[in-house]
Amino acid sequence: REFASRSFDLWGFSTICSTYPLTIRIARELKRCHPQSLVMLGGPQASVVDAGTLEAFPFIDFIVRGEADETLPLVVAALPDMRRFRQIPGVTYRSEGSIVRNPDAPVVLDLDKLPMPAFDQYGKLGRCHAVPLELGRGCPFGCRFCSTNSFFRRRFRLKSPARVIEQMRTIHRTYGNTRFELIHDMFTVDRKRVVEFCEALLASGEQFQWNCSARTDCVDDELIALMARAGCASIFFGIETGSARLQRLIGKNLDLHEAASRVACASRHGIGTTVSLITGFPGETRRDMTGSVDFLMDAARFDAVKVQLHLLAPLAGTPMYEQYRGRPGQSDILSDISFHGWRQDSADREMIRAHPEIFPNFYSVPTSLNLGYVKELRDFIQYSVLRHRWLVVALHQDSGGLVKVFDAWLSWLQENRPRRQEAPGAGEAPYYARGEFSRDFLKFVRNRYLRRARNRGALRALLNFELALNRDPPKPGRRTGAPRLAAGVRIMRLGADYHRILDCLRNHEPLATVPASRVLIATREIGNQKVEVSQLSPLSAQLLASCNGENGPKQIARGLRLPKDVAGIPAPKVCLVGLATLRQQGLIE
């Protein structure tokens, strides 16, 4: 409806693998509304399935392949006579009933010459969490599953530090943004250039924060420390597999011990990291998959780490796709393989089934793994770590591996919720994304896992912590002048020292070293998914228990049982100082 009300000579769509079916459907509808307009595709996906796309979908007029910064202006100048495309590299089009595929255009060597993107066309830029800003192109490595080289080729290029900082300053002055997503698959390949960028940013005096991607074998502790000082807030590490054998087979060739060390170093310097792994590779065994899960869970011991586990998507144009071309695996289980938060429309699925060579990323490659099992394992890890990180890490440590816990979970689930995997209704999230998974998981730990746990005391304390967080906090009274718990604050009693348990998990220390003890803690919710935990002294615990919104300070003081270390100080004074401290901590209002 939006496009039907607009009229243009040329419509252009950028394309990526996960949304390509939807892009094609929008383009078809657009051509129906505006049959005289020309429809052009570009971007990574259309570039590698260009000829097949034009053969299958006659409403697509032509495709600009690869880096189009220099090609696209030539294309626009040649319109509307597509016969003039003959001399333009990097274009695929129709001529006299045949598909014509011109030679590839050369890559853009001097990225500094490219103009600033037209950020003024995006009205929400000032509210972006991080502005995406291109840092460079190309990757010198040859991972067999990766499509970067299909699009940018292996010619590694970076913008100069001066150019990047100039663009960051321009955006900051115009829109107020101070955080940037520096886009390049392999920013840290050239260590000298990374040092130059960090030192130039430090010398500029700007207080910008930035995120980037890196290989763990292309950074070291010294470089990470410099990046942190220069404002690096987050690094994406594509580890891909926790199996040393598979590291060689897929061409990634990372040293896993070194990779874990780099994740730990980034965490020590306050840099958040995303640790991403893939499962479903050809030749991958259950042992390989377990190694990947173990690597993820060890990374989850660091507070600022986000973990991701993806199903392998055989991307068009990659060596792995070419090896298994013509032998696509199942698509129904894997319809969300490219982006696990995206749900395909039935029309998308029909198109995917009809044209597997155009949409290969929605299929699988031959593997010995049960892909239905792997998909459910992925969902289990993603959502359980998101909601119950420390309990899940503790289960992993107690059991000797989270895959064992998952198998026990599946058995319990089959007995208690055999119908939970039915397809969700329209607009409804899948089972693992819903609150009922969280509730079921905690029941499983309480009713099944704890019976055989080796470290019941520590696990029970973590479980009670999570159960308390899932209960609605009590509603205090509202009498004027009567202190009450602040919104989002909960008080809970545990059978072991919560902070000591977390220290053991962070440091791979045995949970058996945590003694049983009666501990009272207060939790305070800060923003989305973040909880601050305070272990309470006996006096603080007394005061908080009395802050029910009904009792005033005098009544609270009369009921205080003062500890010996405040002997000689009047109870009302102790009460007022204590309440003021609790208020300062955000625990009461």
pLDDT of residue 78: 95
Burial label, 325 (beta-carbon count in 10 A; 0-12, 13-18, 19+)? middle
- In this predicted structure, what is the pLDDT of residue 512? 94
Residue 163 and residue 161: Cα distance in Å, rounded? Answer: 5
User: Which of 2-16, 30-44, 146-160, 286-300 is predicted with the least confidence, judged by mean pLDDT?
Assistant: 146-160
Q: What SS3 class is residue 370?
A: coil
Q: How far is CA 394 from CA 106, 288, 303, 388, 458, in A?
A: 52, 22, 14, 10, 8
Please state, for a pLDDT cut of 70, what percent of the chain lies above it.
94
Q: Under a CB-based contact definition with an 8 Å cutoff, are residues 84 and 78 in contact? A: yes
What is the amino acid identity at position 101?
R
CA–CA dist 262, 442 (Å, integer) = 33
What pLDDT is recorded for position 342?
58
Q: What pLDDT does 526 receive?
A: 76
What is the residue type of 136? G
pLDDT of 460 reads 96
C-alpha 276: how far from chain center: 8
Task: Provide the pLDDT for residue 425.
Answer: 57
Higher per-residue confidence, 301 vs 83? 301
pLDDT attached to residue 528: 62
Question: According to the 3-state scheme, what is the secondary structure of 241-259?
Answer: CCCHHHHHHCCCCCCHHHH
Residue 427 pLDDT: 58
546 to each of 380, 483, 484, 497, 520, how far by Cα in Å?
Answer: 40, 9, 8, 23, 14
Give the strands of the sheet with 531-535, arranged side by side.
Answer: 489-496, 516-525, 531-535
Task: With cut-offs at 50, 70 and 90, classify the pLDDT of residue 149.
Answer: low
pLDDT higher than threshold 60 for residue 423: no
Q: What's the pTM?
A: 0.88
How much is the pLDDT for 235? 97
CA proximity to 67, closest of 120, 160, 136, 166: 136
pLDDT, mean of residues 510-536? 85
DSSP codes, 392-446: HHHHHHHHT-HHHHHHHHHHHHHHH-TTTTSPP-TTPPPGGGSHHHHHHHHHHII
DSSP-derived 3-state class of residue 131: strand
pLDDT of 527 reads: 67
In tens, the pLDDT along 291-346 reads: 999 999 999 999 999 999 988 888 888 888 777 776 666 555 554 444 544 567 88
What pLDDT is recorded for position 420? 64
- Judged by average pLDDT, the poorest of 87-101, 392-406, 477-491, 523-537 is 523-537
pLDDT higher than 90, residue 18: no
> What percent helix, strand, coil does the chain show, rounded to 5?
45, 15, 35
User: Mean pLDDT across the stretch 100-112?
Assistant: 93
| pLDDT at 230 > cutoff 70 | yes
Side-chain-side CA neighbours of 52 within 13 Å: the count stands at: 14
Model pLDDT, residue 340: 45
Rounded distance between C-alpha atoms, residue 30 and residue 26, angstroms = 6
CB-count burial class (<10 Å; 0-12, 13-18, 19+) for 265: buried
Cα–Cα distance between 502 and 309 in angstroms, integer? 23
* Under 8 Å between Cβ of 177 and 171: yes
The beta-strand segments (E) located in 96-153 are 98-101, 131-134, 136-137
Q: Whole-angstrom Cα distance, residue 358 to residue 56?
A: 9
- The pLDDT of residue 343: 67
- Most confident segment among 278-287, 293-302, 428-437: 293-302
Mean pLDDT, residues 269-297: 95
How far are the Cα atoms of 159, 370, 373, 380, 399 from residue 407, in angstroms, in the given order? Answer: 48, 13, 10, 11, 11
- Contacts of residue 580, defined as CB under 8 A and 6 or more positions apart, other chains included, come to none
Quote the pLDDT of residue 426: 52
pLDDT for the residue numbered 453: 94
Kindly state the average pLDDT of the residues 487-500: 90
Per-residue pLDDT at 380 exceeds 50: yes
Can you tell me the distance from the alpha carbon of 62 to that of 535, in angstroms, rounded to the nearest whole number? 64
What does the mean pLDDT of the chain come to? Answer: 89
35-49, 214-228, 558-572: which range is least confident on average? 558-572
* 508 close to 301: Cβ distance less than 8 angstroms: yes
Please, how many CA atoms are within 13 Å of residue 33, restricted to the half-sphere of its CB? 17
Q: Which has the closest alpha carbon to 135: 169, 161, 101?
A: 161
Three-state DSSP state, 488: coil
CA 238 to chain centre: 11
Mean pLDDT lowest among 157-166, 337-346, 390-399: 337-346
Q: Select the more confidently predicted residue: 78 or 125.
A: 78
**Which residues are CB-neighbours of 432 under 8 A, at least 6 positions away?**
376, 379, 380, 382, 383
Q: Strands of 38-42's sheet, edge to edge?
A: 10-14, 38-42, 62-64, 91-95, 98-101
Cα 562 to Cα 264: distance, rounded to the nearest angstrom: 44
Write the CB contacts of 169 (distance below 8 Å, at least 6 apart in sequence). Answer: 204, 206
